[in-house]
């Protein structure tokens, strides 16, 4: 497979992953993670303590959906080259549940994030994430 074909395939897998994460349905998200993410995922992002890989990724989505049931991730830029896909996203949601120790405020939040996904054998094998947590917490009145 050429570099262009690999990049195109990885973008398609990422788009399926993103579609599932945007569903708001924990079962759809968990199923997509099991299907599209390598079991030994390396996950470099602000993740729950004592968890790694796929377990941590599922927990991140559980926490986000609990705090922001209407969470929506808009892809602003998607760049694919070789075995990596980079996504710059805008995240929006309404704070309707406990999140990082903050009781529901009903406030809307908007923050940015950038993620790099590395693919191996057609699955997401590694994720690096930078999330504007400070902006997120400021909007909740917690920073």
DSSP code, position 111: E
Q: What is the pLDDT of residue 80?
A: 96
Name residues whose C-beta falls within 8 Å of residue 32's C-beta, 6 or more positions apart in sequence.
16, 17, 19, 20, 21
3-state secondary structure of 18: helix
Identify the pLDDT of residue 27.
94
**Spatial separation of the C-alpha atoms in residues 61 and 51, rounded to whole Å:** 13
pLDDT tens for the chain, 143 residues: list them.
Answer: 788 899 999 999 999 999 999 999 999 999 999 999 999 999 988 766 777 789 999 999 999 999 999 999 999 999 999 999 999 999 999 999 999 899 999 999 999 999 999 999 999 999 999 999 899 999 999 87
User: Concatenated DSSP letters for 23-43?
Assistant: T--HHHHHHHHHHHEEEEEEE
| Cα–Cα dist 30/140, whole Å | 27
3-class DSSP state for residue 64? helix
What is the set of domains in the chain, with CATH numbers?
A: 3-139 (3.10.450.50)
Q: What is the pLDDT of residue 17?
A: 96
DSSP 102: B
Q: What is the pLDDT of residue 53?
A: 87
Per-residue confidence (pLDDT) for residue 48, from 0 to 100: 66
Between CA 32 and CA 130 the distance in angstroms is: 22
What are the tokens at 52? 């790694």
pTM of the model: 0.91
């Amino acid at each position: 497979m050429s570099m262009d074909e690999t990049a195109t395939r990885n973008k398609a897998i990422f788009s399926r992953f993103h579609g599932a994460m945007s569903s708001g349905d924990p079962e759809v998200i968990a199923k997509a993670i099991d299907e599209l993410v390598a079991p030994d995922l390396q996950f470099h992002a602000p993740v729950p303590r004592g968890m790694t890989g796929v377990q941590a990724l599922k927990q991140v989505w559980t926490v986000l959906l609990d705090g922001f049931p209407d969470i929506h991730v808009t892809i602003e830029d998607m760049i694919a080259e070789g075995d990596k896909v980079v996504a710059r996203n805008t995240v929006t949601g309404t704070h309707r549940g406990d999140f990082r120790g903050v009781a529901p405020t009903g406030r809307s939040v908007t923050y940015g994030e950038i993620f790099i996904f590395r693919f191996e054998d057609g699955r997401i094998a590694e994720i690096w994430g930078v999330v504007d947590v400070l902006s997120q917490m400021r909007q909740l009145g917690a920073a």
